[in-house]
Structure 1
Amino acid sequence: MIHEVDEGLRLLLVDAGLQESGVDLVFDAPTKDWSARRNAPTISVFLHRIREDAARRRTGAAEEHDAEGVVIGRRTPPRWYELTYLVTAWTNRPQDEHRLLSEALRCLVRSDALPAHMLTGSLAELGLTVEIEAAGPGTDGPSASDVWSALGGELKAAIDLRVWAPLAGERTAAGPPVTEGLVVRSAPGTDGDGADGDGIEPGRRLRYDGASDPGGQGFAAQRERQLPPGRRRRGGAAR
């Protein structure tokens, strides 16, 4: 799921024309060593925090059906996660960095969600909205100074970007639908008469005439039973 969010953000920034102006778009951590090696204007989209949105957690399972409406599996609800990115611009002059940040910010605030045609993989299959928020109100996460201190670099202008994305639940395949009646086998015979080689009589499949509409009493209702020749019902004549 995380790499699919990365791809959606990349497509969003590319659609704004940032790469057409010779700007590199990377997802590397902007460490001190990394910044010393860059040789072109660059926008870094660095993921530094992943946290579950527990308020959106759900229980249970949803059924999956094929084209004929038959249940083929069950899937637990997706779990939502908040991904926090640090978006920075890197050039030789602060003015150019601010211009790149302005273009990136304009692109990121254009919509409150990643466009559906930019979603790939499991995000596209789920068909759920992937919300984004750029330069929004402060959160209870690490401060900008803490992030830069961990990266070993100096504090500089950056856009805090948050994305809420679903992680697909676990899928369990369903067994094939029941299309035949119940099979009843008798206990092993004592003398083996009428049984197969291991003393077990062949199974009989129970069928009911008109079982498609059992009526108000269900299958417990009395039904006419055909007797073998020479047998008679209790209190009646032989048939």
Structure 2
Amino acid sequence: MSASTVIGDVTQSLEDLLKTEQRPANFFDVSLKSPAEETIDQSTTKPKINLFLMRVLENPHAKNQDWAPVGVGELQYPPLALDLLYLLTPFSSSKLDEHRVLGEAMRVFYDHSIVTGSFLLGSLAGTTEELKLDLRPCDLEELTKVWNAFNKPYRLSVCYDVRMVFIDSATRQQVTRVIEKTGIYSQI
């Protein structure tokens, strides 16, 4: 289970994964800024990939969990289960380099479609949590809406879902065990 910092910890873990697993090493930089803030000029020699958290949704399949026992006489409200949607966009002064960078970033996420162990950072480090990365189909209309919202021309981008990320609830309830039951029987 995770702290409320888990959304930032997931982003940090994915950023580090892209930095450490790219081939060749240091092929591209990784940016977490809004794609609307990214700039490209001809003096930029090193391409970059932008990893932007675009949407956070509650996972509907984990909504009806039971309260969990956390000690004698105490139950904890189930954790909030989230799906995170990331936009992955390459930036370079060369369109071919953008395609190469995007391909390499997608290979990294494909090779590590389940992120565990030493790749997890922050509150996720040392836990048994798993981040499942799925390439999400985003049609041209959806991506065009995103770029229109940034007030920028369309750029080649792909979307990734990260499932499920948990935030522990702080709500607890005191309960007592049933130790005695009185039954009254009568004949009709």
TM-score (norm 1): 0.60
In 2, the alpha carbon distance for the partners of 1:172 and 1:9 equals 32
Shift of residue 72 of structure 1?
A: 9.2
Q: Does the aligned pair in 2 maintain the 1:130–1:166 contact within 8 Å?
A: no
Q: Name the counterpart of 1:170.
A: 170
Write 1 or 2 for the structure with the bigger share of strand: 2
1:199 corresponds to = none
The CA deviation string for residues 94-136 of structure 1, in whole angstroms up to 9 with x for no partner, is 00110011100111111332123222344347633221112x3
Residue 127 (1) aligns with residue 133 (2): no
Please, which runs of 5 or more residues in structure 2 have no aligned partner?
A: 1-5, 175-179, 181-188
Helix, strand or coil at the partner of 1:35: coil
Q: For structure 1, which segment, 6-15 or 52-61, has the greater mean C-alpha deviation from structure 2 after superposition?
A: 52-61
Question: For residues 83 and 123 of structure 1, what CA distance do their matches in structure 2 show?
Answer: 15
- 1:63 counterpart = 2:69: yes
Tell me what 1:193 maps to. none
Partner of 1:76 in structure 2? 77
User: Identity over aligned residues, as a percent?
Assistant: 23
CA offset at residue 161 of structure 1?
0.9
Cα separation, 1, equivalents of 2:88 and 2:38: 15
Q: Is the Cα–Cα contact under 8 Å of residues 40 and 93 in structure 2 kept in the other structure?
A: no
Q: Give the alignment's Cα RMSD to 1 decimal.
A: 3.0
Residues 93, 146 of structure 1: alpha-carbon distance in 2 compared, 3 angstrom cutoff: same
Residue identity matched to 2:158: I
- Once the two structures are superposed, the pairs formed by residues 4-43 of structure 1 within 5 Å of their partners are 4-17=9-22, 20-21=25-26, 23-31=28-36, 33-36=37-40, 39=44, 40-43=46-49
Counterpart of 2:155 in 1: which secondary structure?
coil
Distance 1:161 1:91 in 2: 21
* CA distance in structure 2 between the aligned counterparts of 1:144 and 1:138, rounded to whole angstroms: 7
Q: Which residue of 2 is the match for residue 85 of structure 1? A: 86
Following superposition, which runs of at least 4 residues in structure 1 exceed 6 angstroms of deviation?
A: none
Residue 137 in structure 1 maps to residue 137 in structure 2: yes
Secondary structure in structure 1 of the residue aligned to 2:49: strand
The corresponding residue for 1:53 is 59
Bigger RCO (CA 8 Å, 6+ sep)? 2
Aligned equivalents of 1:143, 1:81: Cα separation in 2: 21
Counterpart in the other structure of 1:197? none
Range with greater deviation from structure 2 (147-156 or 107-116): 107-116
Contact 1:52 1:82 in 2 (8 A): yes
Q: What is the CA distance between 1:157 and its match in structure 2? A: 1.3
Pairing 1:183-222 to 2, within 5 Å after superposition: none
User: Number of residue pairs matched?
Assistant: 167
Contact map agreement 1:126 1:168 (CA 8 A) in 2: no
TM normalised by structure 2 equals 0.74
- Unaligned 5+ residue runs, structure 1? 66-70, 175-217, 219-239
Is this contact kept in 1: 2:69–2:76, CA < 8 A? Answer: yes
**What CA deviation, in whole Å up to 9, does each residue of 1:164-204 have, x standing for no partner?**
11222225497xxxxxxxxxxxxxxxxxxxxxxxxxxxxxx
Q: Whole-Å Cα distance in 2 between the matches of residues 106 and 171 of structure 1? A: 41
Code of the residue aligned with 1:16 in structure 2: it is E
Greater Cα radius of gyration, structure 1 or 2: 1
